[in-house]
Structure 1
Amino acid sequence: MQAKKLNSPIVQVFVNPLTKTWVILTEFRESQDIMLRRTKEFDRSEEFGNIFKSLIPDHHISMRMTNPQFKAHRRLIQDSMTPAFLNEVSAPRIYEAFTSLVGVWTEKARLANGHPFSASDDCFKAALDAIWAVIFPLGPKDSVTNAQRQLLADTTSINSASSTNIDEPVVFPETPIPDAPKSVLTLTESLEHMGTSSQREAMIATALEKAKGRFSSDRKEEHVARCAMDDILRRELAAAKRENREPAYNTRTIFDELFGLLIAGHDTTSTTATWGFKLLSDHQEVQKKLREALRSGFPAAITECRQPTAEEICNTQIPYLDATQEEIIQKSMTSGGLARTAMVDTVLLGHHIPKGTSVLLMGNGPDFIEPPIGKIPEDRRSKSCQEAKGRIGSWDPADSNLFKPERWITKEDGKESFDPTSDPLLTFGLGPRGCFGRRMAHLELKIVLVLLLWNFELQSLPGTLMLFATFEFIIEWSWSLSWKFGIFD
């Protein structure tokens, strides 16, 4: 808003008394240049990194790249984002969690008898089940969504569903959340005044002890990674053997990197998916086109009257599905921007930026979901930005405010393909600090879109509920933005 008010892609704001101003940049090319090619000039903002230090003090998210531990910590968890691990370990667990969500919505649709019902909490809990199962061994008693499905399956009717007003929402009974998942939700909702959680520590310690017992076995089959925690412990075991020392399993580093995967991979994914459901219900033509693309993309599932398998979803390329995902990620604005600090005195679009200045690289507003502000002369850009001019995509900003997956589709010889450079996107960051979990986020969103749209039609909200739902989303989005700046990187 300030950039538009001052008609400039770069502005400064005075946030706190007696402190340096923040510089706000709403321009994709220059932001891309900072993250890809000016990493010695700009690094992690301490102000935003400190948000996480009270909760996960030894997680790489708050470390600067000059810290030798940054790369070491990333290496510790890097295998959990390889295609093999994602497809063979993560995908089946994510698939199972969201199949349970299909079951919950099937029961709710039965009990609602045509009435609408809230879906955001269900998505929130299913996303928690999904990321929990990817990181830790998830037992049936730990699945929040399965417990809810069982409760609803045992319910014969809901009183509110008998209301004569068909637009009256139905409220369902909720199962209590088990202690360990509940502690995760409490911690992620309280980042701004965080201590440690004994419940969280006990949960991770117990899981580590069980895994350590398996990895100490001489049986090779016991060393197969069944979740991200196993993968991290296997890496530590291999390092200990190389260095001729005892493996160190119960370290602060392992605790914090595991828990960091949990909180970063849960709330952000569920928020994006929930916005995706809202956008698709508001744009029925896009939903219809996507469903048709899914039906065409999984012909075996159609023939056999079943939903696509996890393996089919991972291995099938459907350009319009990829395009819709990217459009949802851009328009949901789960991460509103990325924070950097100037490590040296430098220049940005012709303006002197003193060392220590916080720079916010916005991923929304002008040049992203609105037309850019003015035209920046090339000579005001950095040398590296000018040299890279021909290496980025080009797009028409005229319709940037619309929900339009087609913008990510290119055609050549009549064949459609997905082009991730068709529009500016900074949600996951770029360069060496780019989002570690980007592949996981795409996989989760892909699975949830396929399963939910295969089994349900997301209908438009009645007018009486539209305003309330929008207000509810704004409140949730505003709260989440207070700590999500830069959570991905």
Structure 2
Amino acid sequence: MAFVTAALTLGAFLSVLYLAYRWFLPRPLPGIPYNHEATKNVFGDLPALREHARITGERSSWLPLQSRKLNSPIIQIFASPFTKPWVVLTEFRESQDILLRRTKEFDRSDHFGNIFKGLTPDHHISMKTANPQFKVHRRLIQDLMTPAFLNEVSAPRVHEAFSSLVDLWARKAQLANGHPFSASEDFYNAALDAIWAVTFPLDPKDSVINAQRQLLAGTTSINTTILSTDIDEPAVFPEAPIPDAPKSILTLTESLESVMISPLPKFTFWLMSQLPYMRRARAAKETMISTELEKAKVRFSGNTKKDQVARCALDDILHRELAAAEKEGREPVYNTRTIYDELFGLLLAGHDTTSTTATWGLKFLSDHQEIQKKLRDALRDGFPMAIAESRRPTAEEISKARIPYLDATQEEIIRKSMTASAVTRIAMVDTMILGHHIPKGTNVFLMGNGADFIEPPIISEIPEEQRSKSCREAKGRIGSWDPTDSHLFKPERWITVEDGKEVFDATSGPLLTFGLGPRGCFGRRMAYLELKIVLVLLLWEFELQAVPQALSSYGAVDKLTHQPRQCYLRLLNSSLEGPRV
């Protein structure tokens, strides 16, 4: 009898386990293609995604590959256990419509917000558009992307930071004596110097790149025997230590990789935040911002604070808080989580985007010598005074320059670098995409790194009746790429001819790197300004020569930023300027 009871109990227990297992299996949305093998595992597509990342070193390319595999511009993926499937859209017109004209149906994705909430809990990037605090935050920082701030404050500081990088690389090129050297870390650090100087008053002598310049100033040679026998062997330089404050920003930025690839980003960040090195980095970041705020209070203590010209983003934000306090009849409050997180957000996004995109740009231009030459010729024509005076173009000259081929090359670098591979939204109501029902609360990934962008469309023609009314009405406002060459690096695709003159046309074809609409990337104008200054300064000073294929692979990239893990350069003095003394 006891045996029968035990058997029945065990059977009941196993039945409950089986039913629970069945309950937690992924549940597809009707009609949308999916990987059928994923519905037989509670982890869905996650094992296949991780295997792809293990083999390729990245994960962003896996989603568009599934669209090809399933032969559909709209698919569903089970990448986060025990949650609704993700809907993945690889079709530009519909993505554009969602971002520009269906903003009441789709808003900032919770999945995307959870990635950043650990580091910046009170930053506007994670907030829904309808959240009253979103508008408060955007008003606080809105002046930072105005032409006045960008041209008068940001441009000179970015120019100074990357001029220092140019000087460092001139020294490295001299020591390398024709050998290639790794440029990734230098670029990453210079981009941090640039956005740091925009955000806070940074003395150039305290920059990360200046420390490296000082270290190499006393270096007379590189003692590696192999350099004398193999011209393709990379030169290796000593590295200056990075101070605690900037090191903390780099550490916290890099922590996002683990959070972003996790199916449970909030829990992953909580686990990481318990680690000693993360605690130290967060404490150093908080101390740095607190110190800068105290310095700013001193600057604001004079009688002329209303008329004070903003020296940096911090000053501008505090001006905004001061004005709001006076309007509301209260004392200004500077040490708030809002101000801390918005300032940190500038550092977090400002250096990573620029360094990633520009690093790809260096690789593209090194591998396409004819495009590099054409761009350098365009710079020669675009800055005649700098040529005549044998000097670099100034920040003001670069920011005001209208050079179509420079704009086209910059846009093509952004298109091909795919720094941000997708824009994520969440369905705020039950709605439709390409004739398919999308339930409220579904995360939608609008892909910008596959079909329509750098590959031919999945389907050559989607029936118009499957599209939304607003999408049908907006047909033809942005061009499409020739599917036979969309994979190529070709700045000319952004050029049109008007009245016999070449003109840059930003509507030539699809681009989603910075998103679109009211929730598009806040720092887009800053990113364009930085990349423009970087390209001008580097090509003004150097010719980027080709490096061996082993050092120029496009394969292994960072799973978070899509940045090449290494970018090697072989530099010569540019013909735009005479030989260095």
Q: TM-score range by the shorter chain?
A: over 0.9
Deviations 1:76-129 (A, max 9, x none): 101010001000000000000000000110000110011110111111110000
Give the equivalent residue in structure 2 for 1:171: 236
- 2:133 pairs with 1:69: yes
Per-residue deviation, 1:220? 5.0
Deviations 1:224-246 (A, max 9, x none): 10000000001111111111110
Q: What amino acid does structure 2 have at the position aligned with 1:308?
A: P
Mapped partners of 2:127, 2:102: distance in 1: 17
Per-residue deviation, 1:481? 5.6
- 2:561 pairs with 1:480: yes
Mapped partners of 1:240, 1:367: distance in 2: 48
Give the equivalent residue in structure 2 for 1:396: 482
Aligned residues: 477
Deviations 1:279-331 (A, max 9, x none): 11011111110000001100111111111111110111000000000000010
* Match for residue 34 of structure 1 among 86, 98, 114: 98
Which sections of structure 2, spanning at least 5 residues, go unmatched?
A: 1-64, 260-268, 274-278, 564-581
Mapped partners of 1:16, 1:201: distance in 2: 32
Per-residue deviation, 1:390? 3.6
- 2:494 pairs with 1:408: yes
Mapped partners of 1:146, 1:253: distance in 2: 31
Mapped partners of 2:407, 2:224: distance in 1: 39
Mapped partners of 1:466, 1:456: distance in 2: 18
Mapped partners of 1:422, 1:211: distance in 2: 45
- 2:373 pairs with 1:288: yes
Mapped partners of 1:212, 1:450: distance in 2: 37
| SS of match in other structure, 1:225 | coil
Mapped partners of 2:562, 2:94: distance in 1: 23
CA contact (8 A) 1:27 1:367 kept: yes
Mapped partners of 2:306, 2:208: distance in 1: 30
Per-residue deviation, 1:222? 7.5
Mapped partners of 2:306, 2:473: distance in 1: 52
Pairing 1:425-436 to 2, within 5 Å after superposition: 425-436=511-522
Give the equivalent residue in structure 2 for 1:270: 355
Give the equivalent residue in structure 1 for 2:35: none
Give the share of equivalent positions with the same residue, in percent: 74
Per-residue deviation, 1:16? 3.0
* Match for residue 440 of structure 1 among 526, 534, 554: 526
Per-residue deviation, 1:221? 8.7
Give the equivalent residue in structure 2 for 1:209: 294
| SS of match in other structure, 1:43 | strand
Give the equivalent residue in structure 2 for 1:361: 446
Give the equivalent residue in structure 2 for 1:109: 173
CA contact (8 A) 1:214 1:222 kept: no
Larger mean CA deviation between 214-223 and 302-311 belongs to: 214-223
Larger Rg: 2
Give the equivalent residue in structure 1 for 2:403: 318
Give the equivalent residue in structure 2 for 1:148: 212
Mapped partners of 1:297, 1:140: distance in 2: 28
Mapped partners of 1:125, 1:201: distance in 2: 20
Pairing 1:312-391 to 2, within 5 Å after superposition: 312-374=397-459, 375-391=461-477
Per-residue deviation, 1:248? 0.6
CA contact (8 A) 1:26 1:361 kept: yes
Give the equivalent residue in structure 2 for 1:16: 80
Mapped partners of 1:216, 1:169: distance in 2: 53
CA contact (8 A) 1:215 1:222 kept: no
Give the 4+ runs in structure 1 shifted more than 4 A: none
Mapped partners of 1:247, 1:220: distance in 2: 13
CA contact (8 A) 1:142 1:181 kept: no
* Match for residue 504 of structure 2 among 418, 428, 437: 418
Q: 1:159 to 1:222 in 2, by over 3 A?
A: farther
CA contact (8 A) 1:44 1:339 kept: yes
| SS of match in other structure, 2:75 | strand
Per-residue deviation, 1:136? 0.5
* Match for residue 328 of structure 2 among 227, 238, 243: 243
TM-score normalised over the length of structure 1: 0.95
* Match for residue 47 of structure 1 among 95, 99, 111: 111
Give the equivalent residue in structure 2 for 1:485: none
- 2:255 pairs with 1:190: yes
Mapped partners of 2:550, 2:98: distance in 1: 45
| SS of match in other structure, 1:145 | helix
Give the equivalent residue in structure 1 for 2:11: none
Q: What amino acid does structure 1 have at the position aligned with 2:557?
A: I
CA contact (8 A) 1:229 1:258 kept: yes
Deviations 1:188-207 (A, max 9, x none): 11132254611101100110
CA contact (8 A) 1:214 1:223 kept: no
Per-residue deviation, 1:466? 3.3
Mapped partners of 2:358, 2:329: distance in 1: 46
